[in-house]
Structure formats: C-alpha cells, structure tokens
Amino acid sequence: MHLRREKYIPKGGPDGGDGGRGGHIILRGNKQFWTLIHLKYQKHIRAEAGGAGSGALRHGANGADVFLDVPLGTVIKRADTGETLFEITHDGEEKRLARGGRGGMGNAFFKTSTNQTPRFAQPGEPGEEGWFVFELKLLADVGLVGFPNAGKSTLLSVVSAAKPQIADYAFTTLEPHLGIVTCRDNHSFVMADIPGIIEGAHEGHGLGLRFLRHIERNAMLLFLIPADSKDIVAEYKILLNELKHFNPDLLDKQRLLVISKSDMLDRELEKELKNQLPEGVPAIFISSVSGKNIVRLKDLLWKMLAEEQ
C-alpha cells in the first residue's frame, strides 16, 4: 500500500505496485543423468520468494524458478498418499512440481471511481509445498533376468563397456547397471543388469520389490540361467512366476532364454539340454568367458527388438 507524495503533489493518490509471484519448482528430463544420486542429500528444496511491490507503481520481481534435472523414467509420487503425479520420459520435458505463490495486488489496482484512495493492498498467496517421492524406473531395451550369480554382470561386461562389480557370491549387484551394446551395421541398444531375483521376490524377499519395478520399462526380457543349474526349466518357471505376481503385463514382453556358462558343455550334453528347454521361447547357449555365440546373441537381440518396433 503506497500513496504518491511529491513536493508539490501532497495527495497524489495510490501508486502501490503489485508483488511478484514466487518461483516454481520444475522438473526437467535430462538424458545425461542416469541416477537420482544428485538429489539424495537435498532434503529441502525452496524456490525464491517473489519481490514486494513498491511506490511509483513498481512491481516486485518474480522469484527465480528452480529447475531440477532428473533422468528419464523418473516417476513422481506424493509421499503421504502414494498418488502418482506424473513421470518424466523425454529429454528436455518439463513438469511443474510445486507452484510459486501468486503475488498480491498493490493498492493502485483497487482504485475505482467511488474509491479513489484505497488504503489497503492484497497480500500474496503462499506457494505450494509438500513431500514427494522420486522413483526411477530404468529405461532399457533389454533387461537381464536371472537368479543371483547367474552371470548377468559378466555378460553385460562382455557385450558392452559397462563395468559392474563381479564376484562369485550372490547379490554382487546391488544396483542396476546399464550398458550400450553395439552390433552389426552400427546398430546399438541398451541392456540393463537387474539385481538377482529369488523365489518370493514379489513379496519383498531378497532385494525383492526394490528392483523388480525396473523390469517394467524394458522392451524385452533376457532370462539368463547357467548351464550347471540343477533344473533349467524349474528355474525359468520360478523367474516367470515372480514376474507374473509382480505385474502380469510383464508376461506380454518378448522373451529370450539364454543358457550361460555353456563352455562347460560338450556337444552331446548341449543337445541333450536343448531337448529339455521350455517350449515357446527362443533359446541360445552362450559363454561369456570363451565368447561362444556372443555375436550371435547380439544379432538375435537386435532382430527381436527391430520386430518389436
């Protein structure tokens, strides 16, 4: 609220300017980001408040917006209700997470023919605030599905430049890894090493629900089972059952069964195992150590992905 006062104008009338709006908090998709680690320790994020209006009809400046870059595949939910608000799926896509408060009107705005000297102004509105959960679902073309220590990380390290941790014990992989796989004619696709699933994962056993959600975003699923498994068909059915209980839509995705560590097999044993494999799913025997059928596997994956598109 301000009244114009100058040397020879003792009663110049109202000239209070409007206040500026508060800054918005805006999420922006950035394909250069692969994780949310840069936001892990930013518990509170505040945008700038709008500037106050002043005399001579000077309006306050709008508060600066805060832009948060997030990887593609980020889903935003309300922390209190679990309601999904939106998800970021495209590079450069912007979504407003919290709106800045609207600036109030100065007393000059309220001047009328019957009230030529309003001595009040409108206060600004508070901005939106709340607690939100950011959940990242990896966007990949091929998702590696298998029990712990099945050779998923080794395969990813062989077919791409990714360097996941590899060791001879269960749950070596504690977070998903992405690798760019290059095949013939300069084609490439993204492969994700999803941490091992165990029986009961859909109920939270093992690493459970923490990583099953990443499989939802894969165009196709590569089931990896080692050749020294006691029962390949039983393992495949357990993996399929876990995915079915977590999200039945996952069964609609293309599947490829890969038998790893097949350098331990001779031709007769491999032929015998082929006859025992589950029907209705293409299968291939590979070895990440010897390189057996690795090129053929990449070509097959690219062919299946091209058919999907």
Domain spans of the chain, in order of start? 1-136, 140-308
What is the percent of the chain where pLDDT is above 70? 85
Please say if the pLDDT value at position 205 is more than 50: no
Average pLDDT over residues 159-169: 53
- What pLDDT does 163 receive? 56
Please say if the pLDDT value at position 169 is more than 50: no
Please say if the pLDDT value at position 104 is more than 80: yes
pLDDT band at 131 (very low <50, low <70, confident <90, very high): very high
Whether the CA torsion 201, 205, 211, 213 is positive or negative: it is positive
pLDDT band at 171 (very low <50, low <70, confident <90, very high): very low
- What pLDDT does 242 receive? 78
Question: Closest Cα partner for 138 from 170, 107, 162, 104?
Answer: 162
The amino acid at residue 54 is S
Q: How far apart are CA 269 and CA 287, in angstroms?
A: 15
186 vs 1, higher pLDDT: 1
Q: How far apart are CA 49 and CA 24, in angstroms?
A: 10
The amino acid at residue 282 is P
- The yes-or-no answer to whether 1-136 and 140-308 have a common fold is no
pLDDT digits (tens, 9 = 90+) for 16-36: 888 899 999 999 998 877 777
Average pLDDT over residues 182-195: 76
What lies within 8 Å, CB to CB, of 93 at 6+ separation is 28, 29
Q: How far apart are CA 247 and CA 140, in angstroms?
A: 17
What is the percent of the chain where pLDDT is above 90? 11
Please say if the pLDDT value at position 136 is more than 80: no
SS (H, E, C) 115-181: CCCCCCCCCCCCCCCCCEEEEECCCEEEEEECCCCCCHHHHHHHHCCCCCCCCCCCCCCCCCEEEEE
Domain at 1-136, CATH from 3.40.50.620, 2.20.25.190, 2.40.30.20, 2.70.210.12: 2.70.210.12
Q: How many CB atoms lie within 10 A of CB 92?
A: 9
- What pLDDT does 173 receive? 42
Average pLDDT over residues 207-230: 72
Q: Over the chain, what is the mean pLDDT? A: 80
Given CATH 3.40.50.300, say whether it is the number of domain 140-308.
yes
- Angle (CA) 145-166-273 rounded to 5° is 50
162 vs 127, higher pLDDT: 127
Please say if the pLDDT value at position 51 is more than 80: yes
